[in-house]
Amino acid sequence: MSKIVGIIGGVGPYAGLDFHKKILDCTPAKSDQEHLEIYHISASAKIEDRSKFLQGKSLANPAEGLIYAAEKLVAIGAEILVIPCNTAHSDPILSPFLEFIAKKNALFLNLLEETCRYIRSKGLQKVGLLATLGTYQSGVYQFYFRQIGCGELICPTESQKQIVSDAIYNPEKGIKSGAQTGWASSQLDLVVQSLQNQGAQAVIMGCTEIPLALGNSDFLLDPGQILAKRVVQAAL
Amino acid sequence: MSKIVGIIGGVGPYAGLDFHKKILDCTPAKSDQEHLEIYHISASAKIEDRSKFLQGKSLANPAEGLIYAAEKLVAIGAEILVIPCNTAHSDPILSPFLEFIAKKNALFLNLLEETCRYIRSKGLQKVGLLATLGTYQSGVYQFYFRQIGCGELICPTESQKQIVSDAIYNPEKGIKSGAQTGWASSQLDLVVQSLQNQGAQAVIMGCTEIPLALGNSDFLLDPGQILAKRVVQAAL
């Protein structure tokens, strides 16, 4: 029997769907009945913006909303849990969540751990990072790079970080507004180019919204894609 | 407070995601926190193929799996339920489901009723139907056309119905296999063209997999799109 997958979605809602689709794409199924059982909760209104919290612009810990969703998923039988949001894996948010999960009979697969293991397995020595301001500020990728034993992580300049953030959050043209191509892609491309010029052998799209605008390739690493493969492997 | 939406997905899994995305697209939201709370269960392995059952090729009623998912959705608080699958709305499947729902405190929005109301509101007199063999055989669209008071429904010839079915189900090239463009689209286009030649003013994409291959337009009516708008309206 395959294990039941629980997606703590809504972070953001489109990124959750994109991740869910990646699980379907990775599943060796030719009919509906061969697919995994997947429960997906998108309770975005109950989850504070992760970046805002990490930057001290809000006191509400997004962990509360993540636990709200996880509680429901576990209650109806989810056995493998995932959070398709990079920023949510920074310590101030993930720690209370892990404390909650430790008491439950469910396996949590960590998006950043899986991504860093993948990077190490590919022998990449110098890797760039596109992320939210909260993710940069929290140093969470640096933490997992050290813990897993990856090479060097290159971050953009402060003004480039702002460009990435605006491509994600701009209320009119940003990816979270539903406008997933055009302007946001071209803004992100500028920063990718700069990281490549600095010698990055690959760039992590370290916010699950970014692949919605950039797609993925051997150069543009998609943590959601890496995690989706791992989820299917663990569930089957 | 917005109402919580429950999607009984997995029928098929990609169609469920496509419908979920249509809800996000219809929601007037510029940030994660403005989106609706959506619970989506994709338990496709537990839901017999709807068309197979209606054609008498299986005795397992897909209603059982639909109720399995609905039970979980209601247990965790879903208030509006939808099934993004046309074939599941035929009487032998929907009746036991409605009996179950009647005992629960949840509103069920009916994909076919909403589609037929839309067709009537547009004053369309002659409309073509693309659907699974099960949907054609059950006469479910004819039933709702009469009940809601729509005009004439045109169905393809028997061999054309087989073409539509193969575009959906072919294990190598069909939409349910994950191959959503190319061959399947061109097969469906042939049948759409024939319905248009017979005077159809619009064609219902009466299987939620079909819009994955054809997109939608004023001519190609997408029941999922119509229902998604209605769901957002009812939830807000």
Q: How far apart are CA B136 and CA A20, in angstroms?
A: 31
Chain B positions touching A79 (Cβ under 8 A) are none
Q: What pLDDT is attached to residue B30?
A: 85
Helices first, then strands: H and E counts in chain B: 11, 8
Predicted confidence band of residue A13 (pLDDT cuts 50, 70, 90): very high
DSSP letter for A177, please.
G
Compare CB distances from A37 to B32, B34, B45 and report the shortest one's residue: B45
CB B85 within 8 A of CB B116: no
- Number of CB atoms found within 10 A of residue A76's CB: 18
Which among A32, A79, A165 is the top mutation candidate for probing chain B, defined by the most B β-carbons within 10 Å of its own β-carbon? A32
Predicted confidence band of residue A132 (pLDDT cuts 50, 70, 90): very high
| Location of structure tokens 């463009």 | B181
Chain A positions touching B29 (Cβ under 8 A) are 178
* Helices assigned H by DSSP within B42-157: 50-54, 63-75, 91-102, 111-121, 133-138, 140-148
Mean pLDDT of chain A: 96
Return the structure tokens found at B148. 């809601």
Binding-face residues of B in 33-72 toward A, CB within 8 A: 33-49, 72
Predicted confidence band of residue A176 (pLDDT cuts 50, 70, 90): confident
Q: How far apart are CA A211 and CA A207, in angstroms?
A: 8
A20 vs A6, A81, B47, B207, CA distance in Å?
10, 12, 19, 21
Element (H, E) at B38: strand B38-42
Chain B positions touching A45 (Cβ under 8 A) are 2, 32-37
Q: What pLDDT is attached to residue A18?
A: 96
Parallel/antiparallel/unpaired status of strands A38-42 and A5-9: parallel
Alpha-carbon distance B11 to nearest alpha carbon in chain A (angstroms): 7
Predicted confidence band of residue A1 (pLDDT cuts 50, 70, 90): confident
A137 vs A155, B32, B98, CA distance in Å?
11, 21, 51
Render pLDDT for B218-233 as a digit per residue (tens, 0 to 9). 999 999 999 999 999 9
Predicted confidence band of residue B189 (pLDDT cuts 50, 70, 90): very high
Q: Which of B171, B172, B178, B161 is nearest to B213 (CA)?
A: B178
Angle at A16 between CA A89 and CA A92, to 5 degrees: 20
Mean pLDDT computed over B124-145: 97
Residues 6+ apart with CB under 8 A from B5: B23, B36, B37, B38, B39, B78, B79, B80, B82, B231, B235
Residue A177 near chain B (CB below 8 Å) = yes
Residue A76 near chain B (CB below 8 Å) = yes
Q: What pLDDT is attached to residue B102?
A: 96
Render pLDDT for B108-132 as a digit per residue (tens, 0 to 9). 999 999 999 999 999 999 999 999 9
Render pLDDT for A192-218 as a digit per residue (tens, 0 to 9). 999 999 999 999 999 999 999 998 889
Predicted confidence band of residue A181 (pLDDT cuts 50, 70, 90): low
Predicted confidence band of residue B181 (pLDDT cuts 50, 70, 90): low
Contact yes or no for B178 and A25 at CB 8 A:
yes
Chain A positions touching B12 (Cβ under 8 A) are 32, 35
Render pLDDT for A39-77 as a digit per residue (tens, 0 to 9). 999 999 999 999 999 999 999 999 999 999 999 999 999
CB B132 within 8 A of CB B209: no
Task: Provide the percentage of residues in chain A whose pLDDT is more than 70.
Answer: 99
Q: How many A×B Cβ pairs under 8 Å?
A: 134
Element (H, E) at B168: helix B158-169
Mean pLDDT computed over A92-97: 98
Q: What pLDDT is attached to residue A178?
A: 77
Residue B13 near chain A (CB below 8 Å) = yes
Chain B positions touching A21 (Cβ under 8 A) are 14, 17
Q: How far apart are CA B212 and CA A65, in angstroms?
A: 32
Q: How far apart are CA B41 and CA B234, in angstroms?
A: 20
pTM, entire model = 0.95
CB B20 within 8 A of CB B212: no
Q: How far apart are CA A220 and CA A169, in angstroms?
A: 20
Residues of B involved in catalysis: 85, 207
Task: Provide the percentage of residues in chain B whose pLDDT is more than 90.
Answer: 93
For the cut 70, the answer to whether the pLDDT of residue A180 exceeds it is no
Compare CB distances from B17 to A21, A37, A41 and report the shortest one's residue: A21
Q: How far apart are CA A207 and CA A220, in angstroms?
A: 12
Render pLDDT for B25-79 as a digit per residue (tens, 0 to 9). 999 998 899 999 999 999 999 999 999 999 999 999 999 999 999 999 999 999 9
Q: Cα B198 to chain center, whole Å?
A: 24
For the cut 70, the answer to whether the pLDDT of residue B180 exceeds it is no
Return the structure tokens found at A92. 């101030």
Residue B236 near chain A (CB below 8 Å) = no
Contact yes or no for B42 and A43 at CB 8 A:
no
Mean pLDDT of chain B: 96
Q: Which of A85, A116, A150, A155 is catalytic?
A: A85
Give ipTM to 2 decimals: 0.95
